[in-house]
């Protein structure tokens, strides 16, 4: 098995205590928490409504941008080549720009290589194309196991990477964010980008899953 960690440069973070993985909440997190408590206490906000907004940005609005990038790459070889060569510019051409996405790199999954993205130190994540990072992405177990046992963690998400494939792990930093370009599912040749977009899950663009098959869509998975 040749699971090779990707780059491990990590800069520009203010981490409290270096080696241990238990980050104390940041100042901004504490302020947000305090503000949320205050709004709820004063009856100005419903906690369920706040959760719903977060869920929308985490699982719907954000990842749909990434899915559009992937579907475009699957249907237009010229765009795919540009994306793999200069992801930042290719993604920006679709209008997906902004904080936490200034430097992008797209990692292409093939029959031989499966890419997995993590931020081992905190939660670096490509906001313009994926929205807010899910809770598990920020968790200490994911951050450590993505490096120590990438196949195992992918397996836990229900995806088996064949032994004949190499798993490459990419450690995100404040300077470089990654988006996985999953393989186009079999049986979708000739589909339009609009149809294909529904096959591209958030998790497939992090690399813990693969793109949905047409069968999975039909059976409502």
Residue selected from 124, 147, 153, 205 as contacting Fe ion according to rule CB under 5 A: 124
Q: Binding of Fe ion at residue 119 (CB under 5 A)?
A: yes
Q: Binding of Fe ion at residue 153 (CB under 5 A)?
A: no
- Residue 179's SS3 state is strand
Q: Binding of Fe ion at residue 117 (CB under 5 A)?
A: no
Shortest spacing between CB 202 and Fe ion, in angstroms = 18
* Cα–Cα nearest to 68, from 95, 98, 108: 95
Closer of 119 and 211 to Fe ion (Cβ): 119
Closer of 81 and 148 to Fe ion (Cβ): 148
Q: Binding of Fe ion at residue 67 (CB under 5 A)?
A: no
The question of whether 144 is a catalytic residue gets the answer no
Please list, in sequence order, all residues whose beta carbon lies within 8 angstroms of the beta carbon of residue 158, skipping any fewer than 6 positions away.
Answer: 209
* Cα–Cα nearest to 207, from 165, 170, 164, 162: 170
Instruction: Tell me which stretch binds Fe ion (CB under 5 A): 33-41, 72-80, 115-123, 130-138.
Output: 115-123
Query: Please, what's the b/e burial string for 147-184 (b: 16 or more CB within 10 A of its CB; e: otherwise)?
Result: beebbebbeeeebebeeebebbbbbbbbebbbbbbbeb
Instruction: Tell me which stretch binds Fe ion (CB under 5 A): 70-78, 116-124, 144-152, 157-165.
Output: 116-124
The question of whether 123 is a catalytic residue gets the answer yes
Give the alpha-carbon dihedral of 70, 71, 72, 77, to 10 degrees. Answer: 80
Shortest spacing between CB 171 and Fe ion, in angstroms = 8
Active-site residue, from 37, 122, 172, 201? 122
* Cα–Cα nearest to 169, from 203, 144, 136: 144
Closer of 124 and 180 to Fe ion (Cβ): 124
Instruction: Tell me which stretch binds Fe ion (CB under 5 A): 39-47, 100-108, 118-126, 161-169.
Output: 118-126
The question of whether 122 is a catalytic residue gets the answer yes
Evaluate whether 23 touches 90 at the Cβ level (below 8 Å). no
Active-site residue, from 119, 172, 201, 204? 119
Closer of 173 and 204 to Fe ion (Cβ): 173
Count of residues in the chain:
221
Where are any strands of DSSP class E within the chain?
4-5, 104-108, 113-118, 166-171, 177-181
Q: Binding of Fe ion at residue 122 (CB under 5 A)?
A: yes
* Closest residue to Fe ion: CB criterion: 124
Evaluate whether 124 touches 117 at the Cβ level (below 8 Å). no
The question of whether 2 is a catalytic residue gets the answer no
Point out the residues that are catalytic. 119, 122-124
Residues contributing to the site for Fe ion (CB under 5 A): 119, 121-122, 124
């Amino acid at each position: 098995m040749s699971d090779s960690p990707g780059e491990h440069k990590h800069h520009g973070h203010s981490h409290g205590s270096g080696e241990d993985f238990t980050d104390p909440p940041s100042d901004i997190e504490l302020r947000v928490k305090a503000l949320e408590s205050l709004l709820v206490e004063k009856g100005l906000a419903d906690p369920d409504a706040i959760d719903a907004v977060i869920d929308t940005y985490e699982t719907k609005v954000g990842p749909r941008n990434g899915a559009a990038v992937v579907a475009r790459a699957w249907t237009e070889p010229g765009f795919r080549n540009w994306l793999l060569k200069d992801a930042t510019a290719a993604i920006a051409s679709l209008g997906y720009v902004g904080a936490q996405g200034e430097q992008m790199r797209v990692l292409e999954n093939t029959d031989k290589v499966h890419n997995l993205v993590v931020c081992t130190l905190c939660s670096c994540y490509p906001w313009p194309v994926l929205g807010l990072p899910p809770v598990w992405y920020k968790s200490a177990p994911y951050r450590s196991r993505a490096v120590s046992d990438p196949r195992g963690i992918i397996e836990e998400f229900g995806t088996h990477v064949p032994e004949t494939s190499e798993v490459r792990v990419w450690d995100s930093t404040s300077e470089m964010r990654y988006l996985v370009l999953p393989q186009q599912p079999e049986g979708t040749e000739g589909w339009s980008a609009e149809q294909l977009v529904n096959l591209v899950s958030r998790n497939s663009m992090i690399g813990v899953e693969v793109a949905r098959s047409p069968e999975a869509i039909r059976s409502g998975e």
